[in-house]
Homo-oligomer: A and B are copies of this chain.
Amino acid sequence: MSGIFGMNLKLSIFGESHGKSIGCVLDGLPPGIALDLEALQLELDRRAPGKNNLSTQRKESDMFEIQSGFFEGHTTGTPLCAIIKNSDQHSKDYSILKDKMRPGHADYAGYVRYQGFNDYRGGGHFSGRITAPLVFAGAVAKQALAQMGIIVGAHILSINTISENKFNPMGEADELLQEIAGKEFAVMDDAVGEQMQARIISAKADNDSVGGVIETIVQHIPAGIGAPYFDSLESRLAHMMFSVPAVKGIEFGEGFAISQMTGSTANDEMHYVDGKVATTTNHNGGITGGITNASPVLFRVAIKPTPSISREQNTISLAEGQDTKLTIVGRHDPCIVQRAVPVIEAATAWVIWDMLLEAKKWEK
């Protein structure tokens, strides 16, 4: 079990929701990468709550402070630690969380795993807040990738049963991806986005919550990145994605739908375009045999509805050793999908960069 991820770039994440600070250590960063600190902060701001009525009204500043590994505007090549201080927390009593296990949350699983010693306040290390350092790390990776011409973009494909169109699997305009990233609600079609937001507001009014699907594309990634057994690009991306709280599924290219296609329709035929190898379709999500094949990398992740809801639920009391009822009070997100978009992008960028460094080892 490890709070560290990556082969060549190792990301170490730490922190609890109500501890002193949360943060990360980025190990293995190549020296000499120029970082735009304002752009890094913007990525953190995309994830931050409290901006509108779609998310919790908690205000979290999420200002990062680099401690090491950065000098005169560039990475040094030594471990880069960034911390985000937790603001003064409400003095409210969290002890109910120590006793009554919230359904859909990690409370009970974590209680067993950590033998009752975990910091339960606000979800502790399981809190979605811990994705902030992940966004920081991924934002560094996104800048490095951009310097290589590689773009990572994502959109909200669906909220509950309301969907917009999928990305064109052969690629979208880079400008479109940037435009989406700049939106408060990351969709291509704002009209559909309005419906999605209405669905979230409706769930909130109903003391309920909703989930959705996020689709991600990586453009201009070269062929030859990845491996079969056991570090396929799909393996590495999936590994990372399931570390993001609330993700319950991932599929590449056509994904589950490809299981209903036939070989003659599912295979991506190949041809030369201006002397370069290309596929004519992209049912495989840009990856065959675990390795990029010159098409964009494309995948979708399923996000479950926020488990925190204001309705009474049946659960257990550990203290009493018997069944009980629980009504979660306080502010929580009726939907986390829109806030998860920069998290998924960040997580993607970190993996892609790590895999690109992997390929560099064999360069002639």
Contact = CB atoms under 8 A, between A and B. Distances in A.
A284 interface: yes
A117 B31 contact: yes
A268 interface: yes
B2 A261 contact: no
Given A21-B68, A242-B232, A106 B289 contact: yes
Contacts of A270: 101, 103, 108, 314-316
Given A8-B361, A12-B79, A105 B288 contact: yes
Contacts of A101: 270
B113 A77 contact: yes
A248 B254 contact: yes
Nearest to A252: B248
A112 B291 contact: yes
Given A66-B20, A115-B362, A261-B305, A103 B7 contact: no
Most B CB contacts (10 A, CB to CB) among A25, A78, A104 go to: A78
A352 B262 CA distance: 33
Contacts of A248: 234, 251-256, 258-259, 284-285
Contacts of A260: 158, 160-161, 211
A362 B30 contact: yes
Contacts of A303: 259
A356 to B, nearest CB: 9
Nearest to A111: B224
A304 B323 CA distance: 44
Copy total for this chain? 4
A194 interface: no
B31 A12 contact: no
A360 B119 CA distance: 22
A239 to B, nearest CB: 4
A77 to B, nearest CB: 4
Contacts of A55: none
A223 interface: yes
Given A21-B67, A227-B1, A240-B230, A77 B302 contact: no
A225 B245 CA distance: 16
Given A25-B14, A30-B361, A68-B22, A4 B4 contact: yes
A277 interface: yes
5 contacts: A69-B125, A78-B119, A109-B292, A211-B259, A249-B250
